[in-house]
Structure 1
């Protein structure tokens, strides 16, 4: 039977009181954050390289596009063989899932940068990497934040899948234990937490948009995130 809202609230109090919820939440947040850091970072670097350098596009873009079509859930058995049932496998899965949205957004944002402005900066003697730092990245910022929003959302989705890999701690472990003991109240708590994590991730990017792009109207920021 489904747990009532009162039972779910009691489960939250129970899990928080005995420390299980705090420990599980800390573990899951660490996994998601590390996976996002590595994945979004790799996607950003590859996106800039393929978007700004023709050679980078010719060498890397086709391979990345092929990999992007593979569902990250299909990689779970492969990662278990490569890394074993370890934290590395979980973080790697989250990293792969979060890398592609950032790659697509970064590559597209860099390509859409005003080439005349880039050439003008080059004529002033700036190196290519200086142009990337001073012109290209600021110009691609709306696209980068859009990619970050998608990556952060996917980090939560991938976290759910990653914590199914024989976890012994984390929110996924709490869910597995709740399923074994038919604790629907605890299951509801875990599902609620995953949902709140996704909401918090989206909210964090909205705050970044307001801080980094205060000149943009709210409607434009929301449109960039769609």
Structure 2
């Protein structure tokens, strides 16, 4: 599609009244996106019902649903859910605080960039999931290794995006603030930090995705509570239905947190649309 056609379509969309049928259709969710998930679940159920997919390999969707209802009714799922969310919350708070502080300092200061960025660039290349044995030696098998693992997963992508967002602010904007007589604080508050917000939110979405990945790995090693512990317990008893329930809860948590960040992004970046 050419640029002219895109502009014409944008003009038609802009002139379409919000209350018109076309405007209402534009606001409705696209139900076609549900076609492939529903088809996949139906094929899964058919394969399980016909015996092509043995239950010891993967339980049917109906069995998984029943297992989810049962674990929720007994309170086992709720307790595991609360523990896992608490771990991610603590790890995220710690990792995000450190990443924001270091990213702002390294982005704004030349000396900060020289002293902070090189070691962080080296550390981020380490496979942080491979640090689990070292964390166990340092901190034992309690909560600390799991929380620190989540914090590391959060810190590096968020730091990179904050640092890049600040360093890549348009030089012409900075020069304009100097010409207008802005103080250093006013320049930082009104220009530099707002300009870095879009990339910071991208880093936030990446960080949350990695946080759940780090939690899954951390909870399957020496855990006595949480969704990972629930999955490990089910593995011992060949309960593939409970394993899938735990994985689906992990996936749902990841989708919910990503949706919350996207909602925050729409609200924080309304000025770009206007």
Same fold (TM over 0.5): yes
Shift of residue 119, structure 1, vs aligned partner? 5.2
Unpaired runs of at least 5, structure 1: 218-226
CA–CA distance in 2 between the matches of 1:30 and 1:155? 12
**Post-superposition shift, 1:121?**
4.3
Does residue 55 of the first structure (1) align with residue 111 of the second (2)?
yes
Structure 2 runs not aligned, ≥5 long? 1-55
Equivalents in 2 of 1:13, 1:68: separation in Å? 40
Of 176, 183, 195, the residue aligned with 1:126 is 183
1:182 aligned counterpart, secondary structure? coil
Question: Which of residues 47, 54, 74 is equivalent to 1:18?
Answer: 74
Residue in structure 1 matching 2:151, options 84, 89, 95:
95
Report what 1:200 is aligned to: 256
- The structure whose Rg is larger is 2
Conserved in 2, the CA contact under 8 Å of 1:40 and 1:102?
yes
Counterpart Cα distance in 2 of 1:71 and 1:214: 37
Whether the 8 Å CA contact 1:160–1:172 is kept in 2: the answer is yes
Q: In 2, distance between residues paired with 1:111 and 1:77?
A: 36
**How far apart, CA to CA, are the structure 2 residues paired with 1:127 and 1:188?**
53
Asked if 1:71 corresponds to 2:104, the answer is no
Report Cα offsets for 1:187-224 as digits up to 9, x if no partner.
Answer: 0101111111121122111111111112445xxxxxxx
1:132, distance to aligned residue in structure 2 (A): 2.9
Which runs of 4 or more aligned residues in structure 1 lie more than 4 Å from their structure 2 counterparts after TM superposition? 119-123
Q: CA RMSD in A?
A: 1.6
Q: What TM-score do you get using the length of structure 1 for normalisation?
A: 0.90
**Distance (whole Å) between structure 1 residues aligned to residue 183 and residue 223 of structure 2:** 50
1:1-226 alignment to 2 at 5 Å? 1=56, 2-118=58-174, 121=177, 124=181, 126-128=183-185, 131-216=187-272
Q: Which moved more, 1:115-124 or 1:152-161?
A: 115-124
User: What number of residue pairs does the alignment pair up?
Assistant: 216
Report SS of the residue matched to 2:80. Answer: helix
Q: Report Cα offsets for 1:36-58 as digits up to 9, x if no partner.
A: 11112211111111111000011
Task: After TM superposition, give the deviation of residue 76 of structure 1 in Å.
Answer: 0.6
* CA displacement at 1:59 relative to structure 2: 0.6
Give the corresponding residue for 2:9.
none
CA distance in structure 2 between the partners assigned to 1:167 and 1:153 by the alignment: 21
CA contact (8 A) 1:26 1:170 kept: yes
Displacement of 1:162 in angstroms is 1.2
Q: Could you tell me how far apart the structure 2 residues matched to 1:172 and 1:133 are?
A: 42
1:90·1:165 contact (CA, 8 Å) conserved in 2?
no
2:126 & 2:243 partners in 1: Cα distance?
Answer: 30
Q: CA deviation at 1:8?
A: 0.6
Q: TM-score, normalised by structure 2?
A: 0.75
User: Relative contact order (C-alpha < 8 Å, sep 6+): which is higher?
Assistant: 1
Residues 50-70 of structure 1: CA distance to partner in whole angstroms, max 9, x if unpaired? 111000011111100000000
